């Protein structure tokens, strides 16, 4: 390939931090979709799909204008009519917008919803972190603020990971309080971080003025050193928030879900209140790879509907990063990618057989036989090579002679043993060999 053509190809590559999901990856994704649907059905969550693009205010008003997501990571565009639109960086705000817009409060409450779809954040791409990524999650909206709903969200997420064979799962839980008790905690954080000896990064100096809870989110190594001795939110909780956390943890105890109370855990979005959580894995793969990162998280957002102008209502939710979950699934593979259904490859020889092939293949598929073919190729060798590439176990060879005699050849592609049988028996014979 010439340098000029190479440059053309580079210009036509996918955008930075965004990637295609190729056919060989789909078996893994199908496994995730299947198990997500199973858990949703099991716990009675209904699917919702919101628009990929929203008015920018949907996120700016609810996630917090001083959060990293809004300040640094949102893809924001201006339409020709002057509207400011943003690719959604997360799903919860979009779902609450849809909940209010379409009057879903009139349905049975609380409303239990789940989703799977792409999100967009303008981050520096790195392992497990992309500019276009996927999240799957659960939301319980419109009920009261009963801690049983917090436990149900955590339960659904943990059970989903278990069905995906992700091991050594731990839930880290904290409470960041409510409108009544959080101001006192913010005050304590400000007093602590105003220490003149602290060398805070530029972002944290701004957070100290605008949103001190975000100080605990900073990944700067110097700022991390101050975190262990920082005031903890549990010391500032009001009676109600303290009881809410205690009740949530008791539900997790009853469910035997392992958890840790993490005093420094806060979530990076402003709409959270009371219980917040993250789900970690500490699994070790067969090759020695050790994992210790969050697969997802969530929390309660009782004030979010009110931020949109709706009547106050309790709500709680959580999401898992699909790419991160897939990374762990592949590393823990005690086998390989999920196996696809055994297939049969149809091979034709000659024009007469080719003309009859489509109808014959269709009848075999309708009988429940998974068929593959390469009818655009006429050479027997080329079709056999295609069958081998697809990993097919059996080939059905349909030639001129077989077309006239209403017969077909079944060939075992592992040992090349073959047998000619009447067409009327092909379904029975193939199913017998695929068992």
Q: Which domain holds residue 361?
A: 344-434
Q: 189 lies in a domain?
A: no
Residue 221 is assigned to a structural domain of this protein: no
Task: Please check whether residue 393 is in contact with residue 432, taking contact to mean a CB–CB distance below 8 angstroms.
Answer: no
What is the dihedral angle through the alpha carbons of 61, 65, 66, 67, rounded to the nearest 10 degrees?
A: 70
In a domain, 173, yes or no: yes
Question: Are 130 and 35 part of one and the same domain?
Answer: yes
CB-CB contact of 138 with 113 (8 Å): yes
Answer whether residue 337 shows pLDDT above 60: no
> What CA–CA distance (Å, rounded) separates 169 from 161?
8
Higher pLDDT, residue 1 or 363:
363
Looking at 269, 297, 331, the residue that finishes a domain is 331
Query: Count of domains in the chain?
Result: 2
Q: Are 343 and 372 in contact (CB under 8 A)?
A: yes
Nearest in space to 136 (alpha carbons), one of 121, 111, 119: 119
Domain ends where: 289, 304, 331? 331
Task: Name 11's bridge partners.
Answer: none
- Extended beta strands in 249-313, E state: 259-261, 273-281, 293-300
Both 318 and 349 in one domain: the answer is no
Distance, in Å, from the CA atom of 67 to the CA atom of 56, rounded to the nearest integer, reads: 14
| Structure confidence at residue 250 (pLDDT) | 96
> Do 33 and 109 belong to one domain?
yes
Residue 336 has pLDDT above 60, yes or no: no
Segment 237-246 shows an average pLDDT of 95
Asked if the model's pLDDT at residue 9 lies above 70, the reply is: no
DSSP, collapsed to helix, strand or coil, labels residue 341 as coil
Question: What's the mean pLDDT in 200-226?
Answer: 85
3-state secondary structure of 379: coil
How do beta strands 84-87 and 53-55 pair? Answer: antiparallel
- Sheet harboring 53-55: ordered strands across? 53-55, 84-87, 76-78
Share of the chain above pLDDT 90, in %: 52
| 247 and 322 within one domain | yes
Predicted confidence (pLDDT) per residue in 140-183, tens digit:
998 788 999 999 999 999 999 999 999 889 999 999 999 899 89
Instruction: Name the residue among 228, 214, 17 with its Cα closest to residue 125.
Output: 17
Specify if 289 maps to a domain. yes
Query: Would residue 225 count as lying in a domain?
Result: no
Which domain CATH number covers 91? 3.30.930.10
Q: Are strands 293-300 and 344-348 parallel, antiparallel or unpaired?
A: unpaired
**Measured distance CA(150)–CA(248) in Å, rounded:** 7
Task: Return phi, psi of residue 100, to 5°.
Answer: -80, -40
139 pLDDT above the threshold of 60: yes
145 and 74 in a single domain? The answer is yes
Q: How confident is the model at residue 61 (pLDDT cuts 50, 70, 90)?
A: confident
């Amino acid at each position: 390939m010439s340098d000029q053509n190479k440059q053309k190809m580079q210009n036509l590559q996918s955008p930075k931090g965004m990637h295609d999901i190729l056919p060989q990856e789909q078996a893994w994704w199908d496994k995730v979709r299947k198990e997500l649907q199973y858990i949703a059905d099991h716990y009675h969550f209904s699917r919702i799909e919101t628009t990929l693009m929203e008015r920018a205010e949907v996120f700016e008003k609810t996630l917090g204008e001083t959060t990293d997501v809004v300040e640094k990571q949102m893809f924001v565009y201006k339409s020709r009519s002057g509207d400011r639109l943003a690719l959604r960086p997360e799903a919860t705000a979009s779902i609450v917008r849809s909940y209010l817009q379409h009057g879903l409060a009139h349905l049975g409450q609380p409303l239990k919803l789940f989703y799977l779809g792409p999100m967009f954040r303008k981050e520096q791409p790195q392992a497990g972190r992309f500019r276009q990524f996927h999240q799957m999650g659960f939301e319980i909206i419109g009920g009261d603020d009963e801690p049983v709903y917090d436990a149900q969200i955590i339960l659904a997420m943990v059970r989903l990971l278990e069905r995906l064979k992700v091991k050594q799962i731990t839930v880290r839980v904290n409470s960041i309080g409510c409108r009544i008790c959080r101001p006192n905690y913010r005050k304590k954080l400000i007093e602590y971080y105003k220490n003149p000896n602290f060398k805070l990064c530029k972002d944290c100096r701004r957070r100290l003025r605008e949103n001190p809870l975000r100080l605990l989110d900073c990944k700067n190594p110097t700022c991390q050193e101050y975190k262990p001795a920082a005031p903890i939110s549990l010391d500032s909780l009001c009676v109600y928030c303290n009881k809410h956390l205690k009740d949530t943890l008791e539900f997790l105890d009853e469910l035997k879900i392992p958890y840790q109370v993490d005093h420094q855990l806060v979530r990076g979005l402003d709409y959270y209140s009371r219980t917040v959580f993250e789900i970690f894995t500490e699994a070790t793969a067969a090759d020695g790879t050790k994992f210790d990162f969050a697969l997802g998280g969530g929390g309660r957002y009782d004030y979010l509907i009110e931020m949109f102008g709706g009547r106050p209502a309790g709500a709680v939710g959580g999401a898992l990063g699909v790419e991160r979950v897939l990374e762990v699934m592949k590393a823990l593979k005690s086998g390989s990618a999920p196996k696809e259904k055994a297939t049969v490859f149809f091979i034709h020889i000659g024009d007469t057989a080719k003309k009859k092939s489509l109808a014959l293949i269709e009848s075999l598929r309708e009988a429940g036989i998974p068929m593959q073919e390469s009818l655009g190729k006429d050479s027997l060798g080329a079709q056999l090579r295609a069958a081998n590439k697809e990993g097919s176990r059996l080939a059905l060879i349909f030639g001129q002679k077989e077309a006239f005699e209403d017969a077909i050849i079944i060939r075992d592609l592992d040992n090349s043993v073959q047998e000619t049988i009447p067409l009327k028996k092909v379904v029975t014979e193939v199913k017998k060999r695929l068992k």
